[in-house]
Structure 1
């Protein structure tokens, strides 16, 4: 994360709060050290941002520095909070950090009443203990999809038989207990779904694949819809 983005998030996290925000909470959300948070806050204070508090106690933005609250209905806000919890529990580290940062921004500009409502939500998404390798695969494949990069998989099927697959990744899907990767398999010359917990190794190639009407995401969705009938 760029330092400018980090400073922006710190200011937004402090806006509208009634109680001091501990530096440790900021550090965990921003995925940086406590020392970095202390240094960033000190730099903001020196630049004229009206932050009160100190290390070990917490920080507040001086009263009167708030910005207008976002116009969310309570149910809309709860949907965002619950969605963020699911992302943090089940997605990769990159999306988890992004979801945490997004929620931090939202909470920073909510009215006190809406912020309290969001904190009272009793819909949770406990992490079912995903292996760290699966979360790493999610991050890697997410990048590959965004950049249209070919991926090489060392994959084991349901019987444990291993094979090497060169694929064109198209989408990731979560089915409530397992993640799958939808892709065009160059070995089988067809669309395939790969379970992430059966991927032994995932390697992103430097090779990129071009959009093709016969092998792109739309074609994949048509194939899946046809197979489900």
Structure 2
């Protein structure tokens, strides 16, 4: 998470709290160190955000501090609720944590008369058939975002093992699997790899920014995805 994202999230956490929160409690929720939270609190206080407290005791925000409201109509709100709920089927723990943060931000910003996001009567079942992967999907999303080549060990449906160098282009969340679309240097063509069949994955720190956009467009042209 970027620093600006953390600062925003700390504000949301403190606005929702009904008692002082320690830096350690916030650090655990944000998955950062306690020292990072101390620095972020100091940054916010320097920006005149009304946070009171001190290290070892806890922090709380004075009432009345508001961020600009988000304006969604009823159907837009329903789309967000369903979309966030359906992330539970992916088993992508990074996205699930992000969804929880997004829910808090939206709930704190919508008008009071609209009711909290959690009170909406729209749900998605917890059932999913996506098998677990040896590597967290967050790893692949980061490589995709940063357009970095990967070295992977892959076992196909017939049990054949191979090692590939790939250029990740997209991630597709199917109902029964998560698939990584990539340019495979071994086959010199587009290939799709199920995450649960990738037994090892390493970042090569060799970005392919120069050809990422054109490869992604060519891949889109060969698929039925929109």
Please state which band the TM-score falls in when normalised by the shorter chain.
0.7 to 0.9
What secondary structure sits across from 1:105 in the alignment? helix
Name the count of aligned residue pairs: 219
What residue number does 2:86 align with? Answer: 86
Q: Normalization by structure 1: what TM-score? A: 0.72
Unaligned 5+ segments in structure 1 are: none
1-structure distance, mates of 2:132, 2:163: 22
What residue number does 1:20 align with? Answer: 18
Query: What are the within-5 Å matches in structure 2 for residues 97-136 of structure 1?
Result: 97-116=97-116, 118-126=118-126, 128=128, 130-131=131-132, 133-134=134-135, 136=136
2-structure distance, mates of 1:204, 1:123: 37
1:6 aligns with 2:13: no
Pair 1:123–1:28, CA change in 2 (3 A):
farther
- Worse overlay, 153-162 or 142-151: 142-151
2-structure distance, mates of 1:41, 1:208: 31
After superposition, the C-alpha distances for 1:36-75 in whole angstroms (9 at most, x for unaligned) are 899789869987755689xxxx987544334553211122
Runs of 4+ off more than 4 Å: 1-5, 21-29, 35-53, 58-63
2-structure distance, mates of 1:149, 1:37: 27
After superposition, the C-alpha distances for 1:62-92 in whole angstroms (9 at most, x for unaligned) are 4433455321112212222322233355263
Pair 1:43–1:12, CA change in 2 (3 A):
same
CA contact (8 A) 1:150 1:208 kept: yes
Unaligned 5+ segments in structure 2 are: none
Question: What RMSD over aligned residues (CA atoms) do the two structures have, in Å?
Answer: 3.9
The CA deviation at 1:13 is: 3.8
The CA deviation at 1:4 is: 6.4
